[in-house]
Amino acid sequence: MQISTADAWRVLRKLKFELSDCKHHVRGFFTLDGKKLFPVHFSFGNKDLPGNVPEKFRKSLYLSEAEIRELFACHIDRLRYEQLLRVRGVLPPGKTFGSKTA
């Protein structure tokens, strides 16, 4: 699937990633309870992320193809995303709702 840099930027903000950017990259960390858990990034320079970079971007978010489509269609918010990460074992089991974010 094609992912534009604008869309990538939008979903990372929506998922409340802690982001920093410079001329070349947008870098971010998924943060929970003030703890940086995993990194994600994409590069500027193309309207759409090139080659297999969209695939890498998707996998760095720990999402399936169907889920990332849902994400871009605005059907996945931060809370739902946390649930998905718990299912995948990226986040430890714990309270599902109302967890404290960054």
Query: Footprint of another protein on this chain (CB under 8 A)?
Result: 20, 22-25, 27, 29, 34-41, 43, 50-53, 55-56, 59-60
**Is 20 or 96 the residue whose CB approaches another protein more closely?**
20
Here the contacts of 50-57 (C-beta below 8 Å, separation 24 or greater) are 54/1, 54/2, 54/3, 57/3, 57/8
Q: DSSP for 5-74? A: HHHHHHHHHHTT-EEEE-SSEEEEEEEETTEEEEEEEEESS-SB--TTHHHHHHHHTT--HHHHHHHHTT
**Is 22 or 73 the residue whose CB approaches another protein more closely?**
22
What is the nearest approach in angstroms of another protein to the Cβ of residue 71? 18
What is the nearest approach in angstroms of another protein to the Cβ of residue 18? 9
**Is 36 or 75 the residue whose CB approaches another protein more closely?**
36
What is the nearest approach in angstroms of another protein to the Cβ of residue 97? 22
